[in-house]
Amino acid sequence: MTKVRKVKRRKTYKVSINRKRLRNKLRKLPDITCPQVKAAWDNKKSTRMNLIQMGLSYDPNKSLKIPNAEKEIVKNAKQTTSGGFVVTNVNNKKQNRVAKKIEVALALEENAKAPRESMFRLPNGQVQFLTYLMDKYGDDYEAMARDKKNYYQLTWRQIRSKINTFKGIPEQYAEYLVKKGEIVLENNESIE
């Protein structure tokens, strides 16, 4: 009985759906945010063909195959039973398509290798807590762990790692050193 209901439900006309808009939405290509790919994109070709011509992979599972132990064992067994001869198909119909727009892949690779500026910052509350501990205790991490403002009951090793992280952020740590007076700026320069 359930099959009849499902079929009937599928065939009912839904007034609230604009079928023309839905069809156009399905035909529409996805928005391409990468400028290199967007410039080389050809709307007359399929997504797979566009990516192949740019030298990019459409399906990474096919281009980077993970070795399968079971297939290797079967292959070795076939070799031993056939006396060391390997049977291969001579008429391989697949064509190796050469990328015509290889500059897209090269531009993407160059962009990926470009150095990036780290945008990592600690929250202001955490910076205030760490600077308070550093001002009061210096490098005595065990005393920091026993401090009354250690609400989250951080261990001395956790505090040490947070302070090392804070010291690894040049903008915030330099600002702390300027306020403390260990770094003196000339002519009221900015910290950067």
pTM of this prediction? 0.49
Shared domain for 40 and 104, answered yes or no, is: yes
Shared domain for 100 and 34, answered yes or no, is: yes
Is residue 110 domain-resident? yes
Shared domain for 130 and 172, answered yes or no, is: yes
Longest alpha-carbon distance in the chain: 86
What is the rounded (10 degree) CA torsion for 159, 164, 167, 172? -50
Shared domain for 128 and 101, answered yes or no, is: no
Shared domain for 109 and 160, answered yes or no, is: no
Instruction: Tell me the residue range of the domain where 160 lies.
Output: 124-180
d(CA 137, CA 143): 7
Shared domain for 136 and 174, answered yes or no, is: yes
Q: Which residue has the tokens 């951080």?
A: 154
Per-residue pLDDT of the chain (192 residues; tens, 9 = 90+): 556 776 766 677 888 988 888 888 877 777 889 999 999 988 888 888 889 899 898 898 888 888 888 988 998 888 888 776 655 655 555 566 667 888 999 999 999 999 988 889 999 999 999 999 999 999 999 999 999 999 999 999 999 999 999 999 999 999 999 999 888 877 666 665
Yes or no: say if 174 and 184 are a contact pair by the CB < 8 Å rule: no
d(CA 100, CA 110): 18
What is the rounded (10 degree) CA torsion for 39, 40, 46, 47? -80
